[in-house]
C-alpha cells in the first residue's frame, strides 16, 4: 500500500479543499483528512525525529534498540483515539548512511502507520541518502522536484501549512545546509501561502556562532540566511528540528519559535528524554506536548503553548 493513501474505512470524510490544495502544492499523493468525531478546533500532527533505523532490526546503539523504540512509538500513535492528520519523521530516518537495507527495515515499521490510514512525510537528515530513500518510498518522490536535488514539500493542514525543508548536505557529514536555491524556493513559497500559519520543519538545528567565528559547527551552515527567510514573513511561527537529540525550545530574535524535537532513538545525555511530540495547531497559537518513551521521565507529558508572533497587534 502506498504510504500516502488513506483507507476510506477509518475516515468519515476527506476534506476536498485540502486534497485539492495538496495537488496544487505539488503533493498529489497527499490527501489531508479528518474525523468528524475528532476535535475540530485544532490540527494535530505527530512529530518524530532521528529514528536511526538500521537494516538489522536487532541493532543497538548507546543501549537503545532503535527498531523497538520506533515500534513502541507507533504502538502509542495507533492506540490514540484522536489520530493525527499525519506523521512527520524529521530526518536521520536511517542509521548512518541511508542504505537501502535501512529503509527496507524502516518501511516494515512505517507500513503499520500506513495501514492505519495515516499519511507519513519524511525529511532528510545527514544520515539519510535521497536515492535509496526514494527507491524504498516511491510515493515520497514528487512527480516534479520542487527544488532540484532536494526533498521538500508543502503539507497543508486546516490551520497551518507545513513547509518541509531538506538540510542534508553530504551523506554522513554532520553539518547541514539548505543552499541558495532552496532558500529562494522557501521564501517564495512562504510568501505565496500567507493565508495560514506557516510552520517550517527540517532536520538540522540553527547555529548561532559568535560573529567572526570560523568554526564550522554541526548545525545549519547557512543559518543566518535561513533565519532571515523565516523573519521575512509574519505568518511564520515556528521551526521544528531534530539532529541534536535534545528536547528543547527557544526563540529567534524575531520571535519565531525554535523547537528541538527529541529523538525516537538514543539520547546523547542520559538525562534527556527520547520519544515524540504532539503538535496542536489552532488559529491563534501552537501547542507542543512531549510524549517521552519513558513514562516515568520527569518531562513526560510537559506541554507548552507557543503564542503567535504579532498576536497582540493582529
Ligand atoms: Zn542528524
CA 141–ligand 1 middle distance (angstroms): 21
Whether the CB-CB separation of 7 and 83 falls below 8 Å is answered with no
Enumerate the β-bridge partners of residue 53: 94
| Residue 180 Cα to ligand 1 middle (Å) | 21
Closest CA to 131 of 108, 109, 149: 149
Tens digit of pLDDT for each residue in 166-190? Answer: 999 999 999 999 999 999 999 999 9
How many Cβ atoms are within 10 Å of 169's Cβ, its own excluded?
18
Answer yes or no: is 150 within a domain.
Answer: yes
Ligand 1 centroid – CA 65 distance (Å): 18
**Rounded distance from Cα 94 to ligand 1 centre (Å):** 10
Q: Is residue 17 part of a domain?
A: yes
CB-based contact 125:166 (threshold 8 Å): no
Instruction: Kindly state whether residue 300 falls inside one of the protein's structural domains.
Output: yes
Sign of torsion over alpha carbons 247, 250, 252, 255: positive
What does DSSP say about strands 285-292 and 275-281: parallel, antiparallel, or unpaired? antiparallel
Range of the domain at 188: 13-313
**How many Å lie between the centroid of ligand 1 and the Cα of residue 128?**
9
Please name every residue paired with 292 in a beta bridge, in sequence order, or none if there are none: 275
Q: Is residue 42 domain-resident? A: yes
Domains of the chain: total: 1
Task: List the beta bridge partners of residue 106.
Answer: none
* pLDDT tens, residue by residue, 256-268: 999 999 999 999 9
CA of 204 relative to ligand 1 center, distance in Å: 6
pLDDT at 132: 98
For the stretch 27-49, pLDDT in tens is: 433 434 444 444 457 899 999 99
With respect to residue 1, please indicate whether it lies within any of the assigned structural domains: no
**What share of the chain in percent tops pLDDT 70?**
86
Position 122 scores a pLDDT of 98
Give the model's confidence band at 209: pLDDT under 50 very low, under 70 low, under 90 confident, else very high.
confident
What is the sign of the dihedral through the CA atoms of 238, 243, 245 and 246?
negative
Handedness of CA 158, 259, 220, 68 (dihedral sign): negative
CATH number of the CATH domain containing 241: 3.60.21.10
Question: What's the whole-number average pLDDT of the chain?
Answer: 88
The CA 92 to ligand 1 mean position distance, Å, reads: 5
Q: What is the pLDDT of residue 40?
A: 58
Question: Would you say residue 256 lies in a domain?
Answer: yes
* CA 121–ligand 1 middle distance (angstroms): 17
- What pLDDT is attached to residue 242? 98
Residues with CB under 5 A from ligand 1 (ion): 92, 125-126, 243
Q: Is residue 5 part of a domain?
A: no
Identify whether 4 is part of a domain: no
Please report the pLDDT score of residue 285 as a whole number: 85
Amino acid at each position: 500500500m502506498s504510504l500516502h493513501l488513506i483507507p476510506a474505512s477509518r475516515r468519515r470524510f476527506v476534506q476536498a479543499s485540502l486534497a485539492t490544495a495538496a495537488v496544487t502544492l505539488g503533493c498529489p499523493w497527499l490527501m489531508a483528512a479528518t474525523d468528524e468525531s475528532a476535535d475540530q478546533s485544532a490540527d494535530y500532527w505527530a512529530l518524530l525525529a532521528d529514528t536511526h533505523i538500521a537494516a538489522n532490526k536487532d541493532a543497538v546503539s548507546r543501549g537503545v534498540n532503535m527498531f523497538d523504540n520506533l515500534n513502541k512509538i507507533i504502538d502509542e500513535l495507533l492506540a490514540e483515539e484522536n489520530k493525527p492528520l499525519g506523521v512527520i519523521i524529521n530526518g536521520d530516518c536511517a542509521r548512518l548512511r541511508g542504505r537501502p537495507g535501512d529503509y527496507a527495515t524502516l518501511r516494515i515499521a512505517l507500513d503499520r502507520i500506513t495501514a492505519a490510514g495515516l499519511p507519513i512525510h519524511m525529511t532528510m537528515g545527514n544520515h539519510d541518502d535521497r536515492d535509496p530513500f526514494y527507491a524504498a518510498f516511491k510515493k515520497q518522490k514528487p512527480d516534479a522536484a520542487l527544488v532540484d536535488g532536494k526533498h521538500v514539500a508543502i503539507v497543508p493542514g486546516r490551520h497551518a501549512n507545513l513547509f518541509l525543508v531538506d538540510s542534508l548536505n553530504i551523506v554522513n557529514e554532520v553539518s547541514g545546509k539548505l543552499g541558495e536555491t532552496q532558500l529562494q524556493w522557501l521564501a517564495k513559497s512562504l510568501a505565496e501561502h500567507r493565508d495560514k500559519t506557516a510552520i517550517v520543519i527540517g532536520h538540522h538545528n540553527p547555529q548561532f556562532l559568535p560573529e567572526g567565528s570560523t568554526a564550522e559547527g554541526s548545525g545549519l551552515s547557512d543559518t543566518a540566511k535561513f533565519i532571515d527567510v523565516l523573519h521575512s514573513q509574519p505568518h511564520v511561527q515556528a521551526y521544528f528540528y531534530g539532529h541534536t537529540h535534545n528536547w528543547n525550545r527557544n526563540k529567534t530574535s524575531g520571535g519565531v519559535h525554535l523547537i528541538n524535537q527529541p529523538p525516537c532513538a538514543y539520547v546523547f545525555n542520559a538525562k534527556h528524554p527520547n520519544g515524540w511530540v504532539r503538535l496542536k495547531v489552532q488559529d491563534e497559537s501552537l501547542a507542543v506536548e512531549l510524549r517521552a518513551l519513558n513514562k516515568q521521565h520527569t518531562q513526560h507529558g510537559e506541554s507548552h503553548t507557543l503564542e503567535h508572533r504579532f498576536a497582540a497587534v493582529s
